[in-house]
Structure 1
Amino acid sequence: QNGALTVMVGGQQDVFDRASPMIKHFAKAVTRMGESGSGQLTKMVNQICIAGLVQALSEGLAFSEKAGLDSKLVLDVISKGAAQSWQMENRGDTMVDDEFDFGFAVDHMRKDLGLCIEQAQQVGAQIPVTKIVDQYYAEIQAMGGARWDTSSLIKRLR
């Protein structure tokens, strides 16, 4: 709706060239990743990375809370260094505030991670952390969080 998507495309160059102008109406970036299937595989890489980032951010913030730190101040400080990420910038405060009724649903992430795990087996890739995070998301679903934002992983740690 606001043209902020990053789109990864697989397919023939001539088809990409024809479709690209339309895709740019709803995307800030459109990249042809290679032949058919390459876009989907790239999206899997994206989801694997996000799953690990959200789990690490959840652990860091839960640690901060248990240690008695001001977690919003911690976020302000560490967001200026190497730990900075889109997840931190866009979900850190809501994670601290325990607000998850928006964003990308856990159900959707579990579907995506299931596809990643299946594809990893097919190509011989090892993704042990992703498998663990997928199980953590299953715990969130069991807590009633199927529609919560993926940043709700922190709820397991509180």
Structure 2
Amino acid sequence: LGDWLSGLDEIAPASLDRVMQIMFDLQFIGEHQLALDLFQVSARLVRTPGHRRELFYWAAQSWVGLGEYAMGAAYYLESARLSGENDVHWQNSALYQAAKALESAKLYKDAGNVYRRLLGDSPESKMQAKLRYRLAQIERRRDRERSE
């Protein structure tokens, strides 16, 4: 698949959707490095803003799957940036995943900043409670690490 993609100059958006489905399947079975390699090869073929934002989001998922949490967070943040105000749901999902990845990377201050941004933007009480819980968890971890 990588060789085939490398030989293409362009691909129709619907065909790219089908190719990306293969990458999602690879992620599902834990083949994150192979999925990342294919995301990288297909990146030059992406023509639409929606596909670009998706590519960053799904590549982030593979980086996290490989335990590269900071890299995953960076990719999620780029996906959120590319979403802009056009798709607030996608943007918030990418930001939430970025914060979780930052937490896993032990970058608690950065994770907290992202959670607080989401908290300030969220009108939903359930999401606000979830974000407050994540912020409290970060504080507990910080306190625990300081005392060790």
Higher RCO (C-alpha 8 Å, min separation 6): 1
Give the structure with the higher percent helix. Answer: 2
TM-score interval, normalised by the smaller of the two chains: 0.3 to 0.5
Higher strand share: 1
TM-score by length of 1: 0.33
TM-score by length of 2: 0.34
